[in-house]
Amino acid sequence: MKNTQNTPHNQFDKKAEAWSARFSEPVSELVKRYTASVDFDKRLALVDIQGSLAHAKMLAAVKVITAQDLADIERGMAQIQSEIQAETFTWLLDLEDVHLNIEKRLVELVGDAGKRLHTGRSRNDQVATDIRLWLRNEIDQLGDLLKALRRALATVALQQADTILPGFTHMQVAQPVTFGHHLLAYAEMFGRDASRLEDCRKRVNLLPLGAAALAGTSFPIDRPMVASLLGFDDVCQNSLDAVSDRDFAIEFCSACALIMTHISRLSEELIIWMSPRVGFIDLPDRFCTGSSIMPQKKNPDVPELARGKTGRVNGNLVGLLTLMKGQPLAYNKDNQEDKEGLFDTADTVRDTLTIFADMIAGIQVKPAAMRAAALQGFATATDLADYLVKRGVAFRDAHEAVAHAVRECEKKSCDLADLTVAELRVFHASIGDDVHQVLTLEGSVAARDHIGGTAPARVRQAAEKILAQTHVIQPL
């Protein structure tokens, strides 16, 4: 698109055209730039046209404008749309925002019919409608991307259902888990994120148009008709609320902040796993960069940036909450500040999810390093305690006995599994010849065989379930 142009010589003329003769002096250049939004809200152009066409159809249906007016408006808008798509449309800062730029061009192209379009409407209900139309589409795209990411996680989880790595609490080895199980934890998080977005969509998908500036309009409008033309589920029920609140955008940003929080947690793990000191995974080179000075480096830039970008998405949420909190009814210009943070949030999350689905699908797993790490840190100590409980020992006594065994192993620098049955029996007489079965990593994970447990069979089941949920039928 062409850059916005400043045309000082005619700026007041342009404004005067937009505002009528109410004003006696032009705004300064700085104030004009300060109050304009066209540089960023031109992004709403296509939904703005979509909303205007539905409004015009309705005005014609209730006979506020003629069929000829409607035809002229439709013809003009078709041309404007193609100019915008061809990037030949001239955006003028003097015309403040996307709405006035398009309306002015419409009048240029079709004359009086263009001047009738704004009947029974205000930019206040117009912009609220535009944002909702735009956001609905963004939500649907993010829903698809979350599906793709969950699918990638479940696909790798299925392949790695038997791969053992240490599970951690407090960043210390706790109990062995499978890598598939670990990845599916994130698939659950992203599943909840998707349902949060779906829920948010219900409150986004309501029509503000008809609220006009704040009080409604004296024209015999048909709001349900406009709602149905635009695919809204219903109309907003109160005109003051419809033009002023942006809670739907805040909800979206909140759902996005949680998506990024989950992405950030996963990123942190990828970074740790990829650190040469840990070496559990490698990431494909296309997600990493080298160092300008240290030739040996391969840095996990993508997860690090995603972790960093979580900050801006959280910031956008706080920005919108703060924007809204002091506003009395109804529309205030403060609301023009809703857009950049909202756009940035959607862009950041869209790019992040797109990259992550690809990156997770390409993760290179190093099972030997995972296994070696799981063999350190007494990961099967709980299994030994459980073994004693199954032989009639009270859990607290079993816990105590195993704690003594662990101390002994620490002294000897060996693992529990390295002690003989006789050595283990020193800590509790109930320990039998079969004890080593529960001290193996495979025995430990296989024993956790219930819904939500880490047993490979359960992990396979859980992965298959997610793959079925995220199955996308490819168009022919």
Which residues inside 316-355 make contact with ligand ARG, applying CB under 6 A? 331, 333, 335-336
DSSP classification of residue 334: G
Of 170, 292, 413, 450, which residue is the catalytic one?
170
Of residues 121 and 196, the one with the C-beta less far from ligand ARG? 121
Distance, in Å, from the CA atom of 51 to the CA atom of 140, rounded to the nearest integer, reads 19
Which residues inside 134-193 make contact with ligand ARG, applying CB under 6 A? none
Q: How many residues bind ligand ARG (CB under 6 A)?
A: 10
CB of 336 to ligand ARG, least distance (A): 4
Q: Give the relative orientation of helices 179-204 and 456-469 as an angle to the nearest 10 degrees.
A: 30
> ∠ at Cα 119 (115, 123), nearest 5°?
90
**Of 266, 258, 264, 256, nearest to 345 (Cα)?**
256
Of 82, 275, 291, 404, which residue is the catalytic one?
291
CB of 317 to ligand ARG, least distance (A): 19
Of residues 239 and 336, the one with the C-beta less far from ligand ARG? 336
Place of tokens 């005005």: 59
Task: For residue 383, state whether it binds ligand ARG (rule: CB under 6 A).
Answer: no
Distance, in Å, from the CA atom of 305 to the CA atom of 300, rounded to the nearest integer, reads 9
Of residues 43 and 460, the one with the C-beta less far from ligand ARG? 43
Complete DSSP assignment for 104-128: HHHHHHHTHHHHHTTTT--HHHHHH
CB of 298 to ligand ARG, least distance (A): 45
Q: Which two tokens stand for residue 397?
A: 């006594």
Count the Cβ atoms, other than its own, within 10 Å of residue 347. 11
Of residues 333 and 411, the one with the C-beta less far from ligand ARG? 333
**Of 56, 131, 82, nearest to 336 (Cα)?**
131
Is-contact 344 312, C-beta < 8 A?
Answer: yes
Which residues inside 240-299 make contact with ligand ARG, applying CB under 6 A? none
Which residues inside 31-60 make contact with ligand ARG, applying CB under 6 A? 37, 41
Of residues 320 and 363, the one with the C-beta less far from ligand ARG? 320
Place of tokens 């350190």: 376
Build a one-symbol-per-residue string for 96-125: x at contacts with ligand ARG by CB under 6 A, - elsewhere.
-x-------------------------xx-
Build a one-symbol-per-residue string for 401-440: x at contacts with ligand ARG by CB under 6 A, - elsewhere.
----------------------------------------
428 belongs to the catalytic site? no
- First vs last Cα of the chain: how many Å apart? 35
Distance, in Å, from the CA atom of 158 to the CA atom of 365, rounded to the nearest integer, reads 13
Of residues 41 and 94, the one with the C-beta less far from ligand ARG? 41
Of residues 342 and 459, the one with the C-beta less far from ligand ARG? 342
Judge residue 459's burial from the number of C-beta atoms within 10 Å of its C-beta, 0-12 exposed, 13-18 middle, 19 or more buried: buried
Can you tell me which of 65, 73, 95, 127 binds ligand ARG, judged by CB under 6 A?
127
Q: Which pairing describes strands 206-207 and 234-235: parallel, antiparallel, or unpaired? A: parallel
118 belongs to the catalytic site? no
Distance, in Å, from the CA atom of 230 to the CA atom of 233, rounded to the nearest integer, reads 9
Active site residues: 170, 291
Interface residues with ligand ARG (CB under 6 A) are 37, 41, 97, 123-124, 127, 331, 333, 335-336
